[in-house]
Structure 1
Amino acid sequence: MPSTVLVRSLFRHAWTLFLFTKSDIKTTLIPISIFAIASAPIHSASHVPHVVFWVWLHLLQFDVSNQLMDPDEDNHNKPDRPLPAKRISYRNATIMRWALVPLCWGLSALYSSYVLCASVALVAFTVIYDELHAHSGHFAVRNVVNAAGFASFELGSTLISGTDPSRFTSTMLLAISISAGIFATTIQAQDFKDIRGDSLIGRKTLPIVLPSVARPTLLVALLVWSLSLTHIWRLDFTTACTLIALSCFVGVRFVFLQGEKDDQISFYWYNVSLSV
């Protein structure tokens, strides 16, 4: 009986951790893991679990921090998350949020000082975004901090994926720089589906501040980046056409299919295009 209780308790805690990160598995964990494997390039398949776990642990650190900011909002929009579902108290979640920081840094230090620097940067951008309220500030600041955070994710995970976690390559740095630019100019794709909720709490996202230009400029940005990537990476004709067509498809969806449900679906397709 005691062993059964222990197993149930461990499973409950593990499921609580999963629920903190559930909504970002498709939007962050999968795209960044794919990015790291493609950009290193990966030295061995045995590196994949290291990459995925490093990204997930840092994602957990970010998500716990983010969900502590406004738990009342999740009571209405995402009641299955651990705080509104009463799976963990606000106090215990706060303790876990800060306990995860040295855990992330300790794991990163096992790989190299460069991975540790990426982890420190990611924690710093998390604090800026959440505790210093960049998430509720001007959309330009929000986009830049978002892009810097994603770049930190990509730097650490790509170093772990490669042959030597203490060595940069020109391909790696170019890929991360381009990716940061893409995020900084298109990450507003995640804000369309949240217009109603963001308006209620006073957030100044691009779709709220400049609703008439937010959608068409996203289409243009996606198309420009696709054409640029085709040139930079010297893609073959079929791959280039696939990338450009997918970007156009995503951008056109955002322009012509408006509404919370359609924007949610379009955001999923946006993440597919990022992975590609």
Structure 2
Amino acid sequence: MTFATVVSPRHNLLALSYALCWLWFHLFQFNASNQSYSAHEDVLNKPWRPVPSGRISAKDSRALRWGLMLFCLSLSSLFSLNAVITSAVFAVLIIIHDDFHLGDHPIFKNLCNAAGYVTFELGSLLILESSLDGTSIKALYCSALVILLTIHAQDFADVSGDLKSGRRTLPIIAPEGSRIYMLCALPLSSFALASFWSLGPLSSVLFVSMGSWVGIRYFRDKIRDQSNYRLYNVCILYSYFPVCYLALIILYRYG
């Protein structure tokens, strides 16, 4: 939602509400599907989720998922054909990720995640804008590349559950190498984005410093990977809205 708000010059409150509604229901669709297949590992990683905590069965969660797919397609039809196509592509990505288990493969999981993020961003943006300009397209490419190269940041905190389910993630395949990779990838991607978008000196320093700090935490602080992942998400947010760096750092530290 931050991506769509920053990229689009249209800040009509009603349009933003429509985009947020579209995004929320599509995220709900993914969660209902993904968590219906991950209950066995969520018992260890995320026991508070609805399926492992017994608030809904895996079977009912899958039924909900298919119902949400039809609902999301219908919702998209209220806006434009491009929104419907985006919603359909997202549904296909869910099927590939969950039903065909490509989310269990370290490379294909990253590809699916990158495509999923871009679909979220594109759909929200299409609710705000009828067409995309060059800046929007460049921003989508940059977002996809950053997610593709760094999204396995989410896997470090889930190693115990992933091992139980037989999933092969990068932290499992290369425990030390994956942390060295994060140490390098986050500051380098931050520097590349700062250079590409020609950020000013102060914003560039703050942006690269944030990426470097999170990379160092992944490399050195192995027992706090859950909080490291939260910081990674803040870092992703910064890549969309770098002028909010200082305020968000203060909020995360003292909020």
TM-score (norm 2): 0.89
Give the CA deviation at 1:48: 2.0
Instruction: Kindly provide the CA deviation profile for residues 174-214 of structure 1, in whole angstroms up to 9, marking residues without a partner as x.
Output: 10111000000000100000111111221110111112211
Q: Which segments of 5 or more consecutive residues in structure 2 lack a partner in the other structure?
A: 239-255
Identity, % of aligned pairs? Answer: 36
Instruction: Kindly provide the CA deviation profile for residues 32-53 of structure 1, in whole angstroms up to 9, marking residues without a partner as x.
Output: x111111123332332222221
Match of 2:18 in 1: 50
Q: Is 1:190 aligned to residue 158 of structure 2?
A: no
Distance of 1:98 and 1:210 partners within structure 2:
36
Instruction: Kindly provide the CA deviation profile for residues 136-156 of structure 1, in whole angstroms up to 9, marking residues without a partner as x.
Output: 12x111111111111111110
Match of 2:164 in 1: 200
Question: What SS class does the counterpart of residue 46 from structure 1 fall into?
Answer: helix
Distance of 2:133 and 2:146 partners within structure 1:
20
Q: Is 1:103 aligned to residue 75 of structure 2?
A: no
Give the CA deviation at 1:240: 0.9
Match of 1:271 in 2: 233
Residue 3 of structure 2 is aligned with which of 35, 45, 61? 35
- Which amino acid in 1 is paired with 2:119? S
Q: Which segments of 5 or more consecutive residues in structure 1 lack a partner in the other structure?
A: 1-32
Moved more, 180-189 or 80-89: 80-89
- Which amino acid in 2 is paired with 1:156? G
- Which amino acid in 2 is paired with 1:268? R
Match of 1:12 in 2: none
Distance of 1:44 and 1:172 partners within structure 2:
18
Match of 2:83 in 1: 115
Distance of 1:185 and 1:118 partners within structure 2:
23
Match of 1:160 in 2: 127
Match of 2:243 in 1: none
Aligned residues, how many? 238
Say if 1:107 and 1:181 are closer, same or farther in 2 by CA, change over 3 A: same
Cα root mean square deviation, aligned: 1.4
TM-score (norm 1): 0.82
Contact 1:40-1:159 at 8 Å conserved across structures: no
Contact 1:195-1:207 at 8 Å conserved across structures: yes
